[in-house]
Amino acid sequence: MFQGTSDTPGATGIDPRAIVDCGQDGALAHQAFVMGFGTVAFSGTKRMRDKLQAIAGKCGGTVVSATIPKGAIDLVNSADPEQDARDGLATRDGPANK
């Protein structure tokens, strides 16, 4: 998943953030934090989610719901992810959201 927001100033007015979708795999979510990713989507058990939130708190990360956030560009089924990401960021309503 890829999420951007226009609330953060910058050259494009967009703050792109990668969200690593880990499904129900707590080990993968933990590894994503170790690798330096700041946001993981997790859909596993509450017990594992609580553990991951504790880990995220120690490294400044965030655990989010595995549902695609409003304004996100989901490239999982994209035939041309690079172009769809560019289009999505340029229009904030690109083809990857349709």
pTM for the model stands at: 0.60
φ/ψ region of 13 (left if φ > 0, alpha if ψ in -120 to 50, else beta) reads left
pLDDT at 11: 43
Show pLDDT as tens, one digit a residue, over the chain (98 residues): 444 443 434 444 444 567 888 999 999 999 999 888 889 999 999 999 999 999 999 988 999 987 776 777 777 788 988 888 888 888 764 454 44
Q: Is-contact 85 96, C-beta < 8 A?
A: yes
Give the separation between CA 11 and CA 88, rounded to whole angstroms.
Answer: 16
